[in-house]
Amino acid sequence: MSLEQLYHSLSKEEQIFQFGTETGDPLAKAFPRKRVVHAGLNGEVIGPDESQKIWEEIMAVSPVSKKIQMAYIHIPFCKTKCLYCGFFQNGTNQDVEDHYIDCLIKELEASAQKPRLKDGLIHALFIGGGTPTSLSAHNAERLLQTIQRCLPLANDYELTLEGRIHDLVPEKMDVWLANGVNRMSLGVQSFHTQIRQQVGRLDDQETVLRNLTALKAYEQCAVVIDLIYGLPGQNMNIWKEDLELLVQSGVDGADLYQLNVFDGSELNKQIQSGKLPPAAESEYQARMFSFAKDFLDKRAYRRLNICHWSCSNRERSLYNTLARSGAVMFPFGSGAGGNVDGYSTMLHRALQPYEMFVQAGKKPFMALMRQSPLQPIVDCIQDQLEQGYLDVAKVVAFNDKLCDLTWLYDLWEKRGLVKNNGVMYVLTDAGQFWQVNLTQTTLECVQYLMTGKTGIAVERVAAQDSAKTDTMIQAMKKMKDMKGAHGVEAMKQMAEAMQNMSPEELQAVMKRMQGFV
């Protein structure tokens, strides 16, 4: 079947979730909700014994050429757990931290002389977490000096240290900048004191701005911050203030992220219990995204990818750009992910097995996955859409079967998500907001065209959009269990709920009732 035939073979609910819907307001209503955090296709998980053998074979062979490569180092410690975060692993403990850094150094040293690593170059290195800036100054120095000694850093390397404002103290900043860090990525999330502190951030607005100024005064690194839109209680006026303070702070760039509210998260539990105000629904988040894009465009910020802006020539966001292009990424540290020569990696998230494997001289795999045979196509598409466009001709170069993607993008052009400029399809503001959905659907269509396999990935990443449907679902459950006057009351509640829902939201309810969402 062609993509058009596939489309018409789906139920109305499936069409809406996978391909979106025709609406006069595509920015807010093209899809019922965001359906995945990161777009992609599944691969094949490899057993533990075979994983070690495959990894040793990969690392024993020099790279074919000095292509651009990266490394990712994970620091699995945080002083506090932010309510929205899905990456928390361990609280801070000095003895545990000391031992972990011992093991991490050992893991780096074990790979340092492997031909696959030492005979290439590392162009971008990201130390993420967790909260890497939570490391003591002594341990940060030990780790950074090991990186300089063990990794073949290119002359123009980017070394990013991720962290939080609270850790910007002279004792630590002196060490970071004296030992090769040339980019700091800091989680501000919101400058508004109440908004940020109610989700687990430590400092007030005055401290945030003061510490950013202190770091900028070194003039030795790019300084970028994360801001989140859609946080509980964060209305458009507060979001505007956040953007104004971003400009005022003088930092070199910013990532603007849409809040994900996972169904079982602590954030959603506190919202449901009334301890926190509701998070913005996707429709309101779309308005916040569009406002921010217009705000930054008018102030000469350059767009580096869908969610990242730069205002100086210091900020390249090299790691983030390369990660979406499928570039090789060597993983180090508990919880680190990577991508090397057709294999995706995830190292043990729990400290005990991670440290046990390292001490035994083995790569501490929790999972090694053989990527889909379609991964080169996946990388090409993700790289382009992350930049806000799709050149179908470049995709079709992989296989003529992919010509049918033109039908998909013509459909989305009619729906206001892309615009054909005569050479390629460029994402509109609406398409940029729904970019992860567009990417996931494009990849699913590629998989169908190349293999005949169908599938619609849906993750529970937008619990805030469930609020308007919960009343209806609960009423339907009551109808099933109750009779008489109580049943009539339940029907009344359901009818009232339905009156406040769009057709797309009604479709979403039906999917939930059937167990699809």
Residue finishing a domain among 363, 382, 413: 363
From residue 246, how far is each of 127, 164, 209, 243, 253 by CA, in Å?
Answer: 23, 16, 9, 5, 9
State both tokens at 331.
């993983």
- Looking at residue 265, its pLDDT comes to 85
Which one-letter amino acid corresponds to residue 504?
A: E
Same domain, 354 and 429: no
56 found inside a domain: no
- Looking at residue 66, its pLDDT comes to 82
Same domain, 105 and 207: yes
Same domain, 343 and 234: yes
Is residue 510's pLDDT more than 50? no
pLDDT in tens, 359-414: 999 999 999 999 999 999 999 999 999 999 999 999 999 999 999 999 999 999 99
Same domain, 25 and 72: no
Same domain, 179 and 303: yes
State both tokens at 58.
């990969």
CA 35 – CA 33 distance, rounded (Å): 6
> Which residues form the domain of 427?
3-42+374-451
State both tokens at 101.
């850094």
With CA atoms as reference, report the closest residue to 421 among 391, 385, 399: 391
With CA atoms as reference, report the closest residue to 211 among 237, 227, 191, 241: 191
Same domain, 196 and 269: yes
Q: Which of 268-272, 283-287, 457-461 has the highest mean pLDDT?
A: 283-287
- Looking at residue 89, its pLDDT comes to 59
Same domain, 117 and 235: yes
From residue 293, how far is each of 298, 315, 442 by CA, in Å?
Answer: 9, 18, 24
More confident residue, 199 or 298: 298
SS3 sequence of 164-195: CHHHCCHHHHHHHHHCCCCEEEEEEECCCHHH
Same domain, 351 and 378: no
Same domain, 119 and 141: yes
Mean pLDDT confidence for 267-275 = 92
Same domain, 445 and 467: no
SS3 sequence of 403-415: HHHHHHHHHHHHC
From residue 214, how far is each of 26, 170, 227, 249 by CA, in Å?
Answer: 42, 9, 19, 11
515 found inside a domain: no
Instruction: Return the DSSP state at 461.
Output: -
Is residue 441's pLDDT more than 50? yes
Same domain, 357 and 289: yes
Residue finishing a domain among 343, 363, 383: 363
More confident residue, 47 or 364: 364
CA 187 – CA 240 distance, rounded (Å): 18
514 found inside a domain: no
Per the structure, the count of domains in the chain is: 3
Q: How confident is the model at residue 84 (pLDDT cuts 50, 70, 90)?
A: low
- Looking at residue 238, its pLDDT comes to 98
pLDDT in tens, 301-333: 999 999 999 999 999 999 999 998 999 999 999
CB-neighbour burial class of residue 513 (10 A; exposed 0-12, middle 13-18, buried 19+): middle
Same domain, 429 and 294: no
* CA-derived radius of gyration, the chain: 24
CA 114 – CA 359 distance, rounded (Å): 18
pLDDT in tens, 450-502: 999 999 998 888 878 765 444 433 443 443 344 334 333 433 443 444 344 44
- Looking at residue 87, its pLDDT comes to 52
Residue finishing a domain among 363, 382, 405: 363
CA 471 – CA 497 distance, rounded (Å): 6
> Residue 257's beta-bridge partner residues?
228
Which one-letter amino acid corresponds to residue 81?
A: K
- Looking at residue 479, its pLDDT comes to 39
- Looking at residue 79, its pLDDT comes to 74
48 found inside a domain: no
- Looking at residue 282, its pLDDT comes to 94
pLDDT in tens, 176-186: 999 999 999 99
57 found inside a domain: no
pLDDT in tens, 51-71: 999 999 999 999 988 889 999
CATH number at 103 reads 3.80.30.20
69 found inside a domain: yes
193 found inside a domain: yes
Is residue 297's pLDDT more than 60? yes
50 found inside a domain: no
Q: How confident is the model at residue 202 (pLDDT cuts 50, 70, 90)?
A: confident
Is residue 512's pLDDT more than 80? no
Q: For residues 134-165, b (16+ Cβ closer than 10 Å) or e, as one string?
A: bbbbebbbbbbebbeebbebbeebbbbbbbbb
